[in-house]
């Protein structure tokens, strides 16, 4: 039978400000998920913090978008929110945009990455969790894992990867999606996903006729954009992803390799700045300098009939020290721009702006230029 892995996350309050998740919230989430495991609703779970985001990894056999599983996540976030309110944590309940659960957390504030698939003889799965950035931050690393031969040696030398992969890309402004094939449509794919605030990779599939079923995803990314949902800036969309590895897929090391480059992503300070994405161990998953810089953690598992064996803290490794040092240098370089673009985001992408008020105050002083 098929296994579903669900990674559902929300920011339900930060300690202090937007730095990290309080231990009390982690404990409450673990208790609630343990009850669900004891009752048989889920097979297994792990709880993480990515900066100030509370992250629930759950395995079960109920498929994606399942009402009971989503309700479990929602109830867990509500329980954590109650504690966050009691502790007066910052932005308690920030990402719970609705008061009442209505069947599915999609569009209600939490971010969701989940996939159902036939568990292989050995099934490595990696959960990536980012803070202080947006779903498009995954475009570059996911593309490189599944389509860039300079990243993934297997695309060239492993007959099982050599045919390439299919990318499901969402236009999150128009609420449309398109399936595109790599390598044959590589330049068109890049034309879209390079515009990362609008086009976001949602899933990756194997091609037909290969080792793996073409209708079972091998990677999935949360694409919820909260300001799109609510029509105004109400909360955060720090993203997560699940990626399967090995045996017809990129090796674990090929899945991790793109993160050796600390690429620039949007969402730092007030959701309104660009900065480097720094891969960190769980222990450093807290956002400090200028509320950042943006960070990613990676939790590695093997599945055993849905049981989660692990996690392994994959960026807890001196092999990523150079990347972190580079990220710190880039952070320093970007910070020296102060309120100037491209450190500060272009106007249309900022989550806060005083510009309309400034313009209003100046409207009588603007004169036409001859």
Which CB, 18 or 324, lies closer to ligand 13P? Answer: 18
Own/partner contacts of 27-32, CB < 8 Å, gap of 24 or more, are: 28/76, 28/79, 28/80, 28/83, 29/54, 29/56, 29/76, 29/79, 29/80, 32/72, 32/75, 32/76, 32/79
Q: Provide the b/e sequence for 85-99 (b: ≥16 CB within 10 Å).
A: eeeebbbbbbbbbee
Q: Least distance to Mg ion from the beta carbon of 110, Å?
A: 12
Our measurement of the distance from residue 92's CA atom to the centroid of its chain's CA atoms, rounded to an integer in Å, reads 21
The torsion of the CA quartet 290, 231, 136, 12, rounded to 10 degrees, works out to: 50
Backbone angles phi, psi at 142, to 5 degrees: -65, -40
93, interface contact from ligand 13P, Mg ion, none, CB < 5-8 Å by kind: none
Binding site for ligand 13P (CB under 6 A): 11, 18, 51-52, 131-132, 236, 238, 251, 253, 269-271, 291
Backbone angles phi, psi at 364, to 5 degrees: -80, -10
Q: Residue 235 in 3-state DSSP?
A: coil
Residue tagged active-site, from 196, 202, 225, 236: 236
Report the helix count and the strand count for the chain, using DSSP H and E: 10, 15
Say how many C-beta atoms besides its own lie within 10 A of residue 321's C-beta: 9
Regarding 53 and contact with Mg ion (CB under 5 A), the answer is yes
Which CB, 3 or 47, lies closer to ligand 13P? Answer: 47
Taking the C-alpha atoms of residue 165 and residue 249, their distance in angstroms, rounded to an integer, is: 9
| Interacting residue with Mg ion among 267, 275, 293, 294 (CB under 5 A) | 267
224, interface contact from Mg ion, ligand 13P, none, CB < 5-8 Å by kind: none
| Count of residues interacting with Mg ion (CB under 5 A) | 11
Q: Catalytic site residue 11? A: yes
For ligand 13P, which residue has the nearest CB? 236
Q: Catalytic site residue 233? A: yes
Q: Least distance to Mg ion from the beta carbon of 275, Å?
A: 12
| Interacting residue with Mg ion among 236, 273, 286, 324 (CB under 5 A) | 236
Taking the C-alpha atoms of residue 162 and residue 144, their distance in angstroms, rounded to an integer, is: 14
Q: Catalytic site residue 75? A: no
Which CB, 267 or 306, lies closer to ligand 13P? Answer: 267
Binding region for Mg ion (CB under 5 A) out of 34-42, 68-76, 137-145, 230-238? 230-238
Regarding 351 and contact with Mg ion (CB under 5 A), the answer is no
- Which residue numbers are catalytic? 11, 233, 236
**For binding to Mg ion (CB under 5 A), which residues are involved?**
11, 14, 18, 51-53, 131, 236, 238, 267, 271
């Amino acid at each position: 039978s098929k296994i579903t892995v669900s990674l559902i996350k929300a920011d339900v309050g930060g300690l202090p400000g937007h730095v990290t998740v309080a231990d009390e919230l982690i404990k409450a989430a673990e208790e609630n998920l343990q009850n669900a495991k004891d009752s048989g609703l889920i097979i297994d779970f792990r709880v993480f913090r990515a900066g100030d985001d509370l992250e629930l990894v759950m395995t079960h056999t109920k498929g994606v978008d399942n009402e009971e599983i989503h309700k479990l996540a929602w109830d867990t976030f509500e329980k954590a929110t109650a504690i966050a309110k009691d502790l007066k944590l910052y932005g308690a309940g920030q990402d719970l945009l609705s008061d009442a659960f209505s069947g599915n957390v999609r569009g209600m504030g939490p971010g969701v990455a989940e996939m159902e698939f036939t568990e292989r003889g050995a099934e490595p799965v990696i959960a990536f969790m980012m803070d202080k950035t947006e779903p498009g931050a995954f475009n570059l690393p996911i593309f490189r894992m599944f389509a860039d031969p300079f990243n993934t040696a297997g695309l060239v030398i492993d007959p099982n990867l050599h045919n390439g992969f299919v990318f499901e890309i969402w236009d999150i402004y128009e609420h449309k999606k398109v399936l595109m094939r790599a390598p044959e449509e590589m330049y068109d794919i890049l034309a879209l996903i390079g515009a990362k605030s609008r086009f976001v990779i949602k899933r990756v599939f194997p091609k037909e006729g290969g080792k793996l079923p073409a209708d079972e995803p091998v990677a999935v990314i949360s694409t919820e954009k909260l300001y799109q949902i609510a029509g105004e800036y109400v909360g955060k969309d720090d993203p997560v992803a699940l990626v399967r590895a090995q045996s017809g897929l990129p090796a674990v090391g090929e899945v991790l390799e793109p993160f050796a480059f600390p690429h620039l992503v949007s969402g730092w300070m007030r959701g309104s700045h660009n900065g480097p994405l720094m891969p960190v161990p769980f222990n450093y998953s807290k956002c400090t300098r200028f509320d950042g810089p943006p960070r990613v953690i990676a939790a590695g598992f093997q599945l055993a009939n849905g049981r989660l064996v692990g996690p392994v803290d994959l960026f807890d490794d001196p092999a990523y020290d150079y990347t972190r040092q580079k990220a710190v240098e880039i952070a320093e370089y970007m910070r020296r721009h102060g309120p100037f673009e491209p450190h500060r985001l272009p106007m249309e992408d900022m989550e806060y702006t005083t510009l309309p008020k400034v313009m209003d105050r100046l409207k009588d002083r603007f004169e036409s230029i001859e």
